[in-house]
């Protein structure tokens, strides 16, 4: 369970850090060639790359979650099982009487 929480925390942090660092890098001309772009191209390209980075983090998180082994087998509620077994153990005639009587009346 703690590993799931750690993975979720890391993915959540990456969802914030990746696009903000991309936007920061473009705005401060850290990435090569970003200083030669026009202002509108600069804004569009940095925005598109930031959105793509968020989608990549989400895809990576989904892949990690799908590869996660199940921690335990899911067990039904014991009280539900007891009620279900009790209803099954009743006479099967009780369940069919209602439907048979309706058919007899129609005939």
- Determine contact, residues 15/54, Cβ cutoff 8 Å: yes
pLDDT at 95 exceeding the cut of 70: no
What distance in Å separates the CA atoms of residue 23 and residue 45, rounded to the nearest whole number?
Answer: 10
Taking only the tens place, the pLDDT of each residue in 41-57 is 888 999 999 999 999 99
Q: What is the pTM of this model?
A: 0.60
């Amino acid at each position: 369970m703690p590993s799931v929480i750690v993975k979720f925390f890391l993915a959540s942090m990456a969802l914030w850090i990746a696009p903000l660092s991309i936007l920061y890098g473009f705005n401060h001309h850290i990435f090569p060639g970003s200083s030669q772009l026009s202002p509108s191209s600069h804004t569009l390209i940095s925005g598109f790359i930031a959105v793509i980075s968020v989608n990549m983090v989400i895809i990576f998180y989904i892949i990690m979650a799908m590869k996660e082994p199940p921690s335990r087998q899911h067990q039904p509620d014991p009280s539900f099982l007891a009620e279900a077994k009790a209803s099954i153990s009743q006479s099967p005639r009780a369940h069919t009487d209602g439907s048979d009587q309706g058919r007899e009346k129609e005939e």
